[in-house]
Amino acid sequence: MVIGKNRETKLVVNLQAITDNIQHERAILTDDVEMFAVVKANGYGHGILEIAQTALAAGATGLCVAILDEALSLRKAGITAPILVLGITSPAFATLAADAGISLTVGSVDWLQDYADQTTAKQPLSVHLAIDTGMGRIGFRHSEDVKQAETLLASDLFSFDGVFTHFATADQTDTKYFEQQFKTWQQLTGALVQLPKYVHISNSATSLWHLPVTGNMIRFGVTMYGLNPSGVAIEELPYQLEPAAELETQLVFVKQIPAGASVSYGATYTAKTDEWIGTVPIGYADGYPRCMQGFHVLIDGQQCEIVGRVCMDQMMIRLPKQYQTGTKVTLIGHQGNQTIGATDVAEYAGTINYEIMTSVAERVQRVYR
């Protein structure tokens, strides 16, 4: 991995915003509800270790990741808090999790049997059962399978520590499907003789708009980073979100082009008059979408249009006047009274703010404040 430390393109992460978002959420939860901070995908692009450490210091009691390697990296860094891997891990690698005290998600009886047949772990494997109530991704779908899994988990090879589901439409205004999933959850978990330590059904959207539907733990994801999980579908929030990251760079080249001159691949932009054009060192290889021609960045507190196609490592901006190289350019964040949010970029690109932030490449330097 190469990090661009010798260029001015950087993702500036405000760790205090992470802390504030966690504390705002804690204020609307009851005291008996724990919070696991979701730091998968390099902390939603913000940096997995730095966000994990900040979240735990701010009151999170555990962490969630997507793959076992993320969890192992946190253990290697000295984090001892509970860690749950939300995706399915092959039984062939599960002994690594058991020996590192990492919890794994299990969604089938066959998985438990396969692990029991091959494990060489020196301690019990912590397991959270995934219940598929309508997400259609992973998890148990039938009561009889849930009962059989509970029986297998009584073995000394396992520690049955959690059960959870994931809502597919918690970030939408129509609650019918959400309510249907909740009924299925009650039915399937009703097959358990005894509930485990952690019972969690609340993701960020559920924790914002569907309290008290929490179980006794929530998985706090995109909201921790100050982003609305619904995008623009639901604007009413129980507290003010604080976006934690700003994506910024600088002008590295400035020139004036004559009317009729074209810019970038495909000559898709042609100047109508003499124009000042600035080049900035960021492109789609850095995670800024190629399709952003016609959108804008902020320079000197003003919106400045992206002209021509975004290149792999650079892109061009139409300037209102000549600026010096080294002038700050904000792609996500604030300048003066202007703001560009990750959701604004996502709406233009036809995607969601999750994808925008997790797409910021590792070569983009993270700077923490």
Domain shared by 88 and 203, yes or no: yes
**R_g (Cα) of the chain, nearest Å:** 23
Q: How far apart are CA 287 and CA 346, in angstroms?
A: 12
Domain shared by 272 and 165, yes or no: no
Residue 290 annotated as lining a ligand binding site? no
Q: How far apart are CA 327 and CA 251, in angstroms?
A: 5
Domain shared by 81 and 184, yes or no: yes
The values of phi and psi at residue 85, to 5°, are -90, 120
Residue 363 annotated as lining a ligand binding site? no
Q: Which tokens go with 127? A: 């397991």
Let me know if residue 302 belongs to a domain: yes
Nearest partner of 21 among 249, 269, 227, 211, judged by Cα: 227
Domain shared by 206 and 277, yes or no: no
Looking at residue 291, its pLDDT comes to 98
Q: pLDDT band at residue 28, thresholds of 50, 70 and 90? A: very high
Q: Are 170 and 185 in contact (CB under 8 A)?
A: no
Let me know if residue 350 belongs to a domain: no
Looking at residue 116, its pLDDT comes to 96
Let me know if residue 336 belongs to a domain: yes
Query: What does the longest C-alpha to C-alpha distance in the chain come to?
Result: 77
Looking at residue 17, its pLDDT comes to 98
- pLDDT tens for each residue of 149-205: 999 999 999 999 999 999 999 999 999 999 999 999 999 999 999 999 999 999 999
> What's 280's domain CATH number?
2.40.37.10
Domain shared by 188 and 293, yes or no: no
Q: Which tokens go with 71? A: 């969890």
Q: pLDDT band at residue 208, thresholds of 50, 70 and 90? A: very high
What is the count of structural domains for the chain?
2
Mean pLDDT of the chain: 97
Tell whether the model's pLDDT for residue 1 goes beyond 90.
no
Beta carbons within 10 angstroms of residue 253's beta carbon: 12
Q: How far apart are CA 117 and CA 274, in angstroms?
A: 73
> Containing domain of residue 312, as a range?
245-340
Angle at which helix 48-58 crosses helix 15-28, to 10 degrees, equals: 40
Domain shared by 309 and 259, yes or no: yes
> Residues 351-358: what's their mean pLDDT?
98
Q: Are 124 and 158 in contact (CB under 8 A)?
A: yes
User: Torsion-angle region of residue 136: left (phi > 0), alpha (psi -120 to 50) or beta?
Assistant: left
What single string gives the DSSP state of each residue in 165-201?
A: ---SSTTSS--HHHHHHHHHHHHHHTT-SS--SEEE-
> What's 46's domain CATH number?
3.20.20.10
Domain shared by 195 and 311, yes or no: no
What percent of the chain is modeled with pLDDT above 90?
99
Domain shared by 195 and 257, yes or no: no
Domain shared by 20 and 103, yes or no: yes
Q: How far apart are CA 132 and CA 107, in angstroms?
A: 8
Domain shared by 188 and 263, yes or no: no
Secondary structure element (H or E) that encloses residue 252, with its range: none
Let me know if residue 325 belongs to a domain: yes
Nearest partner of 339 among 284, 302, 287, judged by Cα: 302
Tell whether the model's pLDDT for residue 367 goes beyond 90.
yes
Q: Which residues of the chain form beta strands (DSSP E)?
A: 10-13, 34-38, 62-65, 83-88, 103-106, 125-130, 158-164, 198-200, 217-220, 245-250, 253-257, 262-263, 269-270, 275-280, 296-299, 302-307, 315-319, 328-335, 338-340, 365-368
Q: State the catalytic residues.
A: 40, 265
Looking at residue 209, its pLDDT comes to 97
| Residue that the structure tokens 């082009």 belong to | 257
- In sequence order, the β-bridge partners of residue 60 are none
Q: pLDDT band at residue 206, thresholds of 50, 70 and 90? A: very high
Q: How far apart are CA 344 and CA 49, in angstroms?
A: 27
Q: Are 279 and 316 in contact (CB under 8 A)?
A: yes
Let me know if residue 240 belongs to a domain: no
Let me know if residue 189 belongs to a domain: yes
Residue 244 buriedness (CB in 10 A; 0-12 / 13-18 / 19+): buried
Q: Which tokens go with 305? A: 């249009």
Domain shared by 138 and 85, yes or no: yes
Let me know if residue 318 belongs to a domain: yes
| Residue that the structure tokens 């929530």 belong to | 218
Q: How far apart are CA 43 and CA 357, in angstroms?
A: 9
> Residues 320-346: what's their mean pLDDT?
97
Residue 313 buriedness (CB in 10 A; 0-12 / 13-18 / 19+): middle
Domain shared by 67 and 177, yes or no: yes
Looking at residue 298, its pLDDT comes to 98
- pLDDT tens for each residue of 81-140: 999 999 999 999 999 999 999 999 999 999 999 999 999 999 999 999 999 999 999 999
